[in-house]
Structure 1
Amino acid sequence: MSGKTVSADSGSTFKTLVNLWPYMWPSERADLKMRVVWASVFLIASKLTLIAVPYFFKWATDALADDAHSPWLLPAFLATPVMLVVAYNLMRIIQLGFNQLRDALFARVGQYAVRQLAYRTFVHMHELSLRFHLERRTGGLSRIIERGTKGIETIVRFTVLNSIPTVLEFALTAVIFAVAYGWKYVAVVAITVWLYIWFTIKASDWRIDIRRDMNDSDTDANTKAIDSLLNFETVKYFGNEAMEARRFDRAMARYESAATRIWTSLGWLNFGQGVIFGIGMMIIMAMSAIEVKAGTQTVGDFVFINAMLMQLAVPLNFIGFIYREIRQGLTDIEQMFDLLDVKAEVIDSAHAAPLRIKAGKVEFRDVQFSYEPDRPILKGISFEVPAGKTVAIVGPSGAGKSTISRLLFRFYDVQSGSILIDGQDVREVTQESLRSSIGMVPQDTVLFNDTIAYNIRYGRIAASEEEVRRAAELAQITTFIEGLPEGYEAMVGERGLKLSGGEKQRVAIARTILKAPPILILDEATSALDTHTEQEIQSALDLVSRDRTTIVIAHRLSTVISADEIIVLKEGNIEERGTHAALLAQGGLYASMWDRQREATEAEERLRIARETDEMGVIVRQRTPEII
């Protein structure tokens, strides 16, 4: 397919057709190209038949009026009034049949174009950087893509199925009027058509701004609705249903105002078109009536001219409709094309090769990185994770711990320094091979709104049912799953909200086990869990990380005691490093963090004991110091 996109600002139907042509004439689909050919044949046949229809009307009228002029093209037995009326209606039916055949043949071509462009947009969204997706608004983005695909269908259908036939009909009508009735009739028709199109374009351009306002309001309303529903629990926690309803209603009020103006302006547009065409038709019919009275035309000619003008009114109306729809379609897809124009921040280099895992050694060499130029996150850190060993990274919030995992996955590229796996710079290997070699158990596990089996199998789509069950068993979640009425087919709900935090973490561990990566990242995988659940999850994590190169990003220091090395980050620099015992002996930042967490844990334990031993049944409600 062509890599070109349509400029939403050009408003050029021709340019739109040129840019969409590879989708309407797909080189790889011979069957679709034949559909285009046959649709074009039926299109031409339909227009030729349509031009013949008024002639039968004229001949039937002259026959009824006993006019001497008989249709010399027809044999005598068909020149009777009844047979001419029959022929007139048969031609109308045949013309309708050609139109429907044309539409039916082209339907698959148009839908194929929609599918290909929608697919391209979807793929492009997944190619964009994490930065883009962190800043996007899901509701607005989905509505932009929805309107864009509909706009593409509109443009494809109207440029091919209506623009070309309309031009052909204009040409045939002009030729007939010039040959049969003279240049005066052609001049009046030409002026009428020019005024009609000029007025339509001017009015439609005016309506485009209103359409943009309506689209913006629609996007805003949809964004607020989706955002509110995704945060359903938060809305309930704070009792802000009324506030959310007011925000949504304000956006819908703007949409209501814009939509009302759209329909009002459409009324004025239709009225203006009717006035212009009505005046032009009045002049031509008056000219024909004068000639009928003078004997230079027959009543059949008068009827023929009227029929031709009425037929001309249909494509004229389509010209206005086509222009409006194409302009509105371009307005609808301009934001979609803007998305397609967004460049991916992280791309494979031209000579990128698949990552070759030998042992799984990970190295950070003088890595510097910042999300914003004036806010550095990592300030030249260097460390090594030997193959099969576990290195923990700890430190205060904002020290840059999670940034390390994002850089290793290559969600961002470093500004300076390098990250290597078995001596290969991650920027010089394909992203697909890199990410297939790394497993992740995040702090906040988000699941697909599908079955438990689907979410576990997401680690390796081709895994068998037995492999899925084995992964669940290793993650210590089998008992929970088998206790559900639907078992592995139980739905987990939106973002997995039907499951508890521990259950979601076990599902995340199970799919990582199924993926079986040589390198593993545990990004604060137990920090959001209670102590009891944390201990259970930790045993599963120890099993997963066995004999794998593992990076543990931790908040609770109790989970990293057994790490081969602990790196302490502070403000983007490595403050301390060593084993748990060595760092405690230093009495530095790590030791102070350990002491605070130990005190908090002891206070929590004392509170638990006090609650259990309170003889008077008084519930002790003291605030437990936050575990750092």
Structure 2
Amino acid sequence: MVMILIHAPLGTTVVPEVTKIIIDQALPRRDLPLLAWLALTLISLPIVTGLVSIALDYLNVTLAQALMHHLRLGVYIHLQAMSLRFYTSQRTGEIISRLTNDINGVRDVLSKTMSETLSNTIVMLTTLVVMLSLNVPLTLLSLGLAPIFLFLTLRVRKVVRGASKETQQTLADVLSMLEETLNISGVLLIKSFGRQRAETTRFRATSAQLVTIQVRQTMIGRWFLLSLHLFFNMVPALAYYFGGLQVMGGRISLGSLVALLTLQSQFFPTLRQLLGVPLGIQAALALFERLFVYLDLPIEIADRSHARVLGQVTGHIRFHHVHFRYQPERPTLREVDFTVQPGQLVALVGPSGAGKTTTAYLLPRFYDVEQGMVEIDGQDVRSVTQESLLQQIGIVTQETYLFNATIRENIAYGYPCATDYEVMTAAQAAQIHERILQLPHGYETVVGTRGYALSGGEKQRVAIARVLLKNPRILILDEATSALDTHTERLMQTALAELRRGRTTLAIAHRLSTILSADQILVMNAGRIVERGTHTQLLQQGGLYAQFYQEQVPSRSPLPHRFCQTEQ
């Protein structure tokens, strides 16, 4: 604020006043010392204002960046607290766009608008005061067209706000398309089906739409500024004419007229910038609306106010008549009721969409039950803190995700303070240690984006080592050995048997051969448990499990080759 108060009047009112003194006093009197002093003032003034301007820019940028940091962090923290339901309904590119482009757009407006609005306001007020002191009629003449400019500003404001929102949404579509088609998985899929041309056509259409919207948004502001420019150029012409008449009539000095015209040349660009502020504010409001759509979303899975810390558990699990649904009209789980004793291996089997993964994900509170209760050691998982709950649970999913970091960092992700010995011990138990030593940099080898430097089985074993190092009391295995070859799978079954000793394991099984030794097998169908028992018991029942077990992969006639000429 102090910087602005110094910089604004110093750079606007001093030069006209010095010019007035030169014309009215120094030149007519031939006062060389005064002329030299005034010339020195004009030379030193830009240096002083320049230094103040640099300091002001630094403060503006620092403040704007700090505000954006807190806004970006707030949105990120809020998104981290959202449940899986949110991420299954949102595009990754859309989320990234709001965290980057939208926040950067707000930053650009704030870094300029806040300081420039205050600075321009001070400049305009001080300039107006000096102009009135020089000549009231000419000053009032200069202000005659201001209402017209205000009217134009109000008319264009709504259009700019709508165009800004449309631009950001289309930009989010472009980023989503890039994120989906330029990652390794997307590229492999596109190339496998020969869809490069089709995806290029789709991207070209979306990108062209973005160009059209951005051009329209830009031209709205440009036409508005052009109309202002035309009006502003009319005022100096009138001031020259009527001011010249007053100079000829002796009612104002030539120096005062020159000073007033100089002030006028600064006043109207400043007024034009102030009238353009609503355009920037409207654009910023559109971006804020998009950001607050996320910030206003309720956190579905949150710690209760009286939530307790879940201490060390034995691993007793109980599902009490659990009901759950993703959509109101479609129940996903109905009357799911079972108990897992500490140290037991319980397997969930059934057709795709039966609710196996959903059931397992209710345990770590990735979702909350609609009815019923999920308990660990007699405590409702909703009554304990999420952090302490997740410390007791280790999860290995079928789709392994590794960060673009070293193997050591990926294994130690859940336990960052692990020693090298602990990391290697976990890798040995996961049957991946020897393979890691064969890599160029051993445990310091960077695995690449999503771990694509490793094979599927190697990624799976690194993920298992990651859970082994965490050493949880409860395990959730989503067909954790599905990506392993026969020899490695046999070794892994031995390692997992040792890992499961004294721990409770909930295994989602797609291949029944991996859960023959389970203490209990729960057969799910359409969100219900339809059969339960050991492998032998279920075979004797001759029900759905026996049918799954006896079935072989059916032989099917190959589908005819399909070709869409219009897509090529």
TM-score by length of structure 2 reads 0.92
What CA distance in whole angstroms lies between the structure 2 residues aligned with 1:306 and 1:540? 88
* 2:131–2:263 CA contact under 8 A, matched in 1: no
* 1:158–1:326 CA contact under 8 A, matched in 2: no
What CA distance in whole angstroms lies between the structure 2 residues aligned with 1:539 and 1:196? 80
Match status 1:264 vs 2:226? no
Q: In structure 1, which of residues 357, 377, 402 is the aligned counterpart of residue 312 of structure 2?
A: 357
What CA distance in whole angstroms lies between the structure 2 residues aligned with 1:471 and 1:201? 66
Equivalent in the alignment of 2:132: 178
Equivalent in the alignment of 2:376: 421
Equivalent in the alignment of 1:55: 17
Equivalent residue runs for 1:170-569 within 5 Å = 170-182=124-136, 184-230=137-183, 231-569=186-524
Equivalent in the alignment of 1:164: 118
Equivalent in the alignment of 1:590: 545
* 2:347–2:520 CA contact under 8 A, matched in 1: yes
What CA distance in whole angstroms lies between the structure 2 residues aligned with 1:466 and 1:106? 50
What CA distance in whole angstroms lies between the structure 1 residues aligned with 2:351 and 2:376? 27
Deviation at 1:423, TM superposition (A): 0.8
Q: In structure 2, which of residues 98, 101, 121 is the aligned counterpart of residue 147 of structure 1?
A: 101
Percent identity over paired residues: 35
* 2:473–2:504 CA contact under 8 A, matched in 1: yes
* 1:285–1:305 CA contact under 8 A, matched in 2: no
Decide whether aligned partners of structure 1 residues 298 and 519 sit closer, same or farther in structure 2, where only a CA change above 3 A counts.
Answer: same
What CA distance in whole angstroms lies between the structure 2 residues aligned with 1:308 and 1:393? 81
Deviations 1:393-443 (A, max 9, x none): 112222111011111111111110000011110111111111111000111
Deviations 1:513-544 (A, max 9, x none): 11111111111223354544433433332232
Q: Name the count of aligned residue pairs.
A: 555
Equivalent in the alignment of 1:610: none
Match status 1:44 vs 2:2? no
* 1:456–1:511 CA contact under 8 A, matched in 2: yes
Q: In structure 1, which of residues 94, 98, 116 is the aligned counterpart of residue 70 of structure 2?
A: 116
Deviation at 1:245, TM superposition (A): 0.5
Decide whether aligned partners of structure 1 residues 399 and 503 sit closer, same or farther in structure 2, where only a CA change above 3 A counts.
Answer: same
Q: Which has the higher contact order (CA 8 A, sep 6+)?
A: 2
Decide whether aligned partners of structure 1 residues 537 and 371 sit closer, same or farther in structure 2, where only a CA change above 3 A counts.
Answer: same
What CA distance in whole angstroms lies between the structure 1 residues aligned with 2:29 and 2:237? 25
Decide whether aligned partners of structure 1 residues 374 and 263 sit closer, same or farther in structure 2, where only a CA change above 3 A counts.
Answer: closer
- Secondary structure of 1:79's partner? helix
- Secondary structure of 1:191's partner? coil
Letter in 1 for 2:55: L
What CA distance in whole angstroms lies between the structure 1 residues aligned with 2:518 and 2:307? 33
Equivalent residue runs for 1:8-27 within 5 Å = none
* 1:196–1:277 CA contact under 8 A, matched in 2: no
Greater CA drift, 530-539 or 474-483: 530-539
What CA distance in whole angstroms lies between the structure 1 residues aligned with 2:485 and 2:550? 19
Deviations 1:140-176 (A, max 9, x none): 2211221222133234323431111122222222222
* 1:154–1:326 CA contact under 8 A, matched in 2: no
- Secondary structure of 2:144's partner? helix
What CA distance in whole angstroms lies between the structure 1 residues aligned with 2:220 and 2:61? 31
* 1:527–1:554 CA contact under 8 A, matched in 2: no
* 2:392–2:474 CA contact under 8 A, matched in 1: yes
Deviations 1:565-607 (A, max 9, x none): 11111222221211112222222221221111xx45xx99xxx
Decide whether aligned partners of structure 1 residues 333 and 148 sit closer, same or farther in structure 2, where only a CA change above 3 A counts.
Answer: farther
Deviation at 1:262, TM superposition (A): 3.2
TM-score by length of structure 1 reads 0.84
Greater CA drift, 294-303 or 236-245: 294-303
What CA distance in whole angstroms lies between the structure 1 residues aligned with 2:160 and 2:110? 21
What CA distance in whole angstroms lies between the structure 2 residues aligned with 1:376 and 1:347? 23
Match status 1:89 vs 2:43? yes
Equivalent in the alignment of 1:578: 533
RMSD over equivalenced CA pairs, Å: 2.2
